[in-house]
Structure formats: structure tokens, C-alpha cells
Amino acid sequence: MSRLTDFFWPTLEKPTLAELADDDASEAADIAAARAEGWAESPELALEEAQRLANSEEDRRRATESKASTYLLFTAAFAAALIPFLPGILEGKTGSAPRWVIAVILIVAALYLIAAGIWAFRTLRVGTYHRLDVAELVQIWRDGNPKRTLTRETFALARMNYRAVNEKVSCIKMAQEFMARSFVALGILVVVEAGWEAVHSVIVAHGTLVVTGTKGPFELGKSGAAESTPHALASPSTSPPSPGAKPPPCATMNGTIKPGTDLSAQPAANVGATSSGTKAPVVPDAKAPTSPAGGAPEK
């Protein structure tokens, strides 16, 4: 369970009282051994090694504090850049993803950034740090063998700084963990926004195709090709004409002519149009002579 919770929210285990007592005893023993040693054999090499250890601890301290300063600057810059866009993101003006999803991811990313900033502050806070100052150097040179005394105090100085530097390193590691999780949260935000927008575009495009394919002027037939159904070639109505209705001026077709039919090879009776059951009125010729009503020829 602790590993699962540490995956989402890392925690730094504090040492117990027994572990602190052991650390204090080990430090006291190492300092006493360094000061009790005579360092008579190869004193130059011993002094060089003592200075190397002290410089390495100083370099570790500077590196951790430099990283902490960088993390603080990044946290401040990100917060300053995010605040102007926060209202638009929460109102859903930047994409089609739900606002509650974006809000949750942003809150998680902000919490990670805040935690990283707090651990960076802990790295930079003033702590106990030891170094050889003017008073110590004066006391060393009053001794009969200043090189030996300087070697002793340099080893003791490096050992006393172990705990302070280790605490700074632990704090900067925690800041790195939270900073990495904030990057992951922001990456998830970008992926969710882009993925939601892509899915929304596909759904809208698919719905547009369905509407235009079913309600347009052309419909798909059984063969898959578009077939046109003009109103002029529609089949006539089979309902009987109403009483008193005038017959249509033009005849109707007996059947539907299939595409590709050779009309020249068909009989005229099959091709010609028939009347719908009523004869057209005969119009008399104006030039023909007319007989009187009684049947007698005109004089």
C-alpha cells in the first residue's frame, strides 16, 4: 500500500530515534579517530585527501542549492503563465473536453508543483554547515605541526558536514520527484485535450456523412450506386379519378421503359402511348363545307 501511495504522492521517511542515536555515535567516533591519528606517514597525501573530501561535500551542497533555485524559478514562471489562461481552460473555451476533467488534471499538476516548490525551499533553508574560519586557522598555526593539525581538522570538518549535505540531497530528490509528476500531469492534460478533440471531430464528420447520405437527393440502391428518382418519371397514381374531373391533356405510359431497351425492334403498339379511357374531342376543320341542320345542301 505504501508503494502505491508513494507512486502518486512521494513521502520522505523520517529516521527513528534509534537511527539518529546511531548516526550521532558514528559521527563522534569518526571525528575522534581523525583527530587522534598522527598522520606522520605521507602527510602531504593525507592533507590532499582531506581537502578532496571537504571540497566534494562543498560541491554537493552547491549543486543541490543550484537545482533548488532552478526548480523555484520554473515553478514561479509556470504559475505566472498559467494564471491568465486558467479561466478560459475551466470554461471550456480551449477545447471540447469536459471542464471537470481538465479541472482535476490541473489541480493535480498544481499540487505537484507546490510540493516541488516547498521541497526546494527546504533545500535552500539555512542549515548547520561547518568550515575552517580565521579563528580555527590561527589556532592550527599555533601548534607545533600545523600540517598535521590542518589534516586532522579538515577530516573532522568533512565528516561533520555529511549530515547537512545529505539532508539537502534528500530534499532536492523529493523536489525532483514532484516536478517529474507535474510534467506527467501536464502531458496527460495535453493528450486528453488533443484526443478528445480528435474523437469529437470524427463523430461530427461521421454524423454529417450519415445525414447527407440518407436525406440527400440521391439514395444508394442495392448495387451500391446512386440512383436518381426524378418526379417526372414517377409511377402514376392507381386511385380512380374523382367524378367530374377532366381527363389529362396528354396520355400516360402503359409501362416503364427500362434503360438500354432498343425501341426500334419493338412493335408500335407496345411503344406508343394509349389513352387513359377517354377520347379527345374532334375539332372540325374550318375549311370543310358545312351542311345545314336539316340536311339540305346549301344553295
Distance (Å, rounded) from C-alpha 117 to C-alpha 75? 7
Joined together, the cell numbers standing for residue 150 give 590542518
Q: What is the pLDDT of residues 200-236, one digit of tens each?
A: 777 777 666 554 544 444 444 444 444 444 444 444 4
Q: How many CB atoms lie within 10 A of CB 72?
A: 17
Counting as low any pLDDT under 50, the low residues of the chain are: 1, 211, 213-238, 250-255, 268-299
Distance (Å, rounded) from C-alpha 31 to C-alpha 48? 18
Domains of the chain, by residue range, sit at: 16-210
pLDDT at site 55: 92
CA angle 208/209/211 to nearest 5° reads 65
pTM value is 0.62
* φ, ψ (nearest 5 deg) of residue 234: -70, 150
**Helix boundaries (H) for 125-161:** 134-141, 146-160
Q: Taking each helix axis from N to C terminus, what angle separates 162-215 and 17-36, rounded to the nearest 10 degrees?
A: 130
- The SS3 of residue 105 is helix
Contact 153, 41 (CB under 8 A): no
What letter does residue 84 receive in the DSSP assignment? T
